[in-house]
């Protein structure tokens, strides 16, 4: 029952007319989740009628992360208290709570389709949250996030299709096992990696992550941590098929992880050296280094599945611990943040690319319209030419009187009679 409440309660609270009447709605929403964390009972329910048959479950591993979440959300909710009287804060709360619902649902659900559904809810709500009460920089970050989100969702959808093609069951363990053994697992692997890398901001797709960290308020960043990013990491853990043949991928992932850590360290060092003192910006790089570490670990796991089975359960508490420590870091580093640097070339580049694409499409469309217009005028001209000739001919008085002249008609009549008689022979 509490499992249900943990998901439904924030969803209900997100309705504006409801949460406008309750005090501290953001805090209220996490109560069922807190209860679940505290009570050490493993539970699971099977909901056969929802989607393709899903369910909710909680066990030790999940409890670690849920606990971390509860703490972080409590912190995030508390921080935003003073700014409650901003206009449109009602909608802001709605989107906040929807993101929360999505996160809890993603965490608690037991199969792939449920995971995908809730993570979609979470992703789009977070996008809305970014856009709604942010300044220009945050809105740009939100747009970046949206582009990445859409592509990621497409990739995950294709991955889901592959699973459906191979098997009927969508529970994590079964699906992962089946996909490891099936013939389409390389494609599946690519799709899963791509999707979650985009969603979690794993190097080299980290641009939106740094943009949000750079421009967002503290609660936003906290929410980001506790929501989309961590959930995507979790998703990677749950969806990834582990098999021995993924040698090359494993190597690549290890390389990427190492590159991430190196890049992050370099950046942090540069920042500290040149005393730009941007703690929160560096926090982003901490995150990136962590995800790099994870990537390294997964790469190793891909190379050696045996290791994975032994150590996979460590990752959960690890993620939980990391999130909490990072959030403490954020909380204590104050509100200052710097303007987007010119070094942020990549996000600008991506936005520029999308502008270019739009201009190109518009140019094509203008060409098409022009061609269509020419074709139409040509058609009209020729059509009207034909019509005018026809009307000239048929309106001509001389022709008219010719046609109705008796001599002509009688001649026609006689010719017809002769023709009929002749043909009848």
Positions in the binding site for other proteins (CB under 8 A): 16, 48-53, 88, 91, 113, 116-117, 120, 124, 128, 131-132, 146, 150, 153-154, 157-158, 160-162, 164-165, 361-362, 365, 391, 394, 403-404, 406, 409-410, 412-414, 416-425
Is the CB of 269 or the CB of 419 nearer to other proteins?
A: 419
- From residue 147, alpha-carbon distances to 77, 212, 271, 326 in Å are 28, 14, 29, 26
Contact 334, 283 (CB under 8 A): no
The answer to whether residues 118 and 111 touch, using CB atoms and an 8 Å cutoff, is no
**Least Å from the CB of residue 128 to other proteins:** 7
Of 158 and 344, which has the nearer Cβ to other proteins? Answer: 158
Q: What's the distance, CA 198 to chain centroid?
A: 9
Nearer of residues 81 and 363 to other proteins, judged by Cβ = 363
* Least Cβ distance, residue 248 to other proteins (angstroms): 23
CB of 205 to other proteins, least distance (A): 18
* Burial environment of residue 412 by CB neighbours within 10 A (0 to 12, 13 to 18, 19 or more): exposed
The residue (of 90 and 312) whose beta carbon lies closer to other proteins is 90
Location of structure tokens 């969603």:
199
**Alpha-carbon distance 29 to 18, whole Å?**
12
Query: Any idea how long the chain is?
Result: 425
Judged by beta carbon, residue 160 or residue 330, the one nearer other proteins is 160
- Please provide residue 36's backbone torsions phi and psi, each rounded to the nearest 5 degrees: -60, -40
Which residue lies nearer to other proteins by CB, 269 or 363? 363
- Positive or negative, the Cα torsion across 185, 147, 113, 51? negative
Q: State the chain's maximal CA–CA distance in angstroms.
A: 115
Task: Please identify, using beta-carbon distances, which residue of 2 and 166 lies nearer to other proteins.
Answer: 166
- Token pair 């997100």 in the structure block, residue: 14
| Whole-number CA gyration radius for the chain | 33
Q: What is the DSSP letter of 111?
A: B
Of 159 and 197, nearer to other proteins (C-beta) is 159
Cα angle 269-272-274, degrees, rounded to a multiple of 5: 105
Residue 409's contacts (CB-CB under 8 Å, 6 or more residues apart) are none
Burial 113-138 (b: 16+ CB within 10 A, else e): bbbbbbbbbbbbbbbbbbbbbbeebb
Min CB(169)–other proteins separation in Å: 14
CB of 120 to other proteins, least distance (A): 5
Q: How far is the CB of 124 from other proteins (least distance, A)?
A: 7
For residue 310, the minimal CB distance to other proteins (Å) is 34
Q: Give dist(CA 56, CA 406) in Å, integer.
A: 95
CA separation, residue 246 to residues 87, 205, 232 (Å): 52, 22, 21
Q: Where are the alpha helices (DSSP H) in 201-278?
A: 207-215, 218-224, 230-239, 247-273
Q: Whole-angstrom Cα distance, residue 129 to residue 123?
A: 10
Q: How many CA atoms lie within 13 A of 402 on its CB side?
A: 7
CB of 294 to other proteins, least distance (A): 26
Nearer to other proteins, 120 or 333 (CB): 120
Query: Which CB sits closer to other proteins, 352 or 362?
Result: 362
In angstroms, give the least distance from the CB of 332 to other proteins. 32
Distance of closest approach, residue 261 Cβ to other proteins, in angstroms: 33
Least CB distance from residue 227 to other proteins, whole Å? 17
Identify which of residues 121 and 298 has a Cβ nearer to other proteins in the complex. Answer: 121
């Amino acid at each position: 029952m509490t499992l249900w409440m943990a998901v439904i309660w924030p969803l209900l609270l997100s309705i504006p007319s409801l949460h406008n009447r309750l005090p501290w709605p953001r805090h209220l929403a996490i109560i069922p989740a807190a209860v679940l964390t505290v009570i050490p009972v493993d539970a699971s329910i099977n909901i056969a009628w929802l989607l393709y048959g899903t369910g909710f479950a909680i066990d030790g591993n999940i409890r670690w992360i849920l606990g971390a979440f509860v703490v972080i959300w409590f912190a995030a909710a508390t921080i935003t208290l003073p700014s409650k009287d901003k206009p449109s804060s009602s909608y802001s709360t709605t989107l906040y709570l929807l993101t929360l619902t999505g996160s809890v649902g993603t965490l608690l659900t037991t199969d792939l389709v449920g995971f995908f559904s809730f993570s979609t809810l979470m992703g789009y709500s977070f996008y809305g949250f970014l856009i709604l009460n942010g300044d220009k920089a945050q809105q740009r970050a939100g747009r970046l996030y949206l582009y990445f989100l859409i592509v990621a969702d497409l990739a995950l959808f294709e991955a889901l299709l592959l699973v459906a093609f191979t098997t009927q069951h969508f529970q994590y363990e079964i699906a992962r096992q089946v996909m490891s053994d099936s013939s389409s697992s390389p494609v599946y692997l690519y799709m899963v990696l791509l999707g979650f890398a985009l969603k979690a901001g794993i190097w080299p797709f980290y641009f939106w992550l740094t943009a949000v960290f750079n421009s967002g308020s503290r609660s936003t960043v906290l929410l980001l941590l506790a929501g989309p990013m961590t959930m995507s990491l979790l998703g990677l853990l749950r969806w990834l098929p582990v098999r021995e043949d993924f040698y090359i991928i494993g190597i690549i992932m290890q390389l990427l992880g190492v590159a991430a850590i190196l890049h992050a360290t370099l950046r942090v060092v540069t920042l500290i050296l040149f005393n730009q003192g941007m703690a929160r910006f560096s926090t982003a790089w901490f995150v990136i280094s962590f995800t790099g570490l994870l990537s390294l670990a997964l790469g190793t796991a891909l190379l050696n599945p045996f290791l994975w089975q032994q150590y996979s359960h460590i990752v959960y508490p690890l993620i939980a611990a990391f999130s909490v420590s990072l959030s403490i870091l954020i909380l204590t580093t104050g509100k200052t943040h710097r303007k987007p640097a010119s070094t942020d070339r990549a996000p600008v580049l991506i936005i520029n690319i999308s502008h270019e694409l739009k201009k190109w499409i518009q140019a094509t469309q203008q060409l098409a319209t022009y061609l269509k217009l020419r074709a139409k005028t040509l058609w009209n001209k020729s059509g009207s030419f034909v019509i005018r000739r026809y009307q000239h001919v048929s309106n001509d008085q001389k022709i008219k009187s010719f046609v109705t002249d008796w001599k002509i008609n009688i001649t026609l009549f006689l010719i017809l009679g002769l023709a009929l008689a002749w043909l009848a022979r």
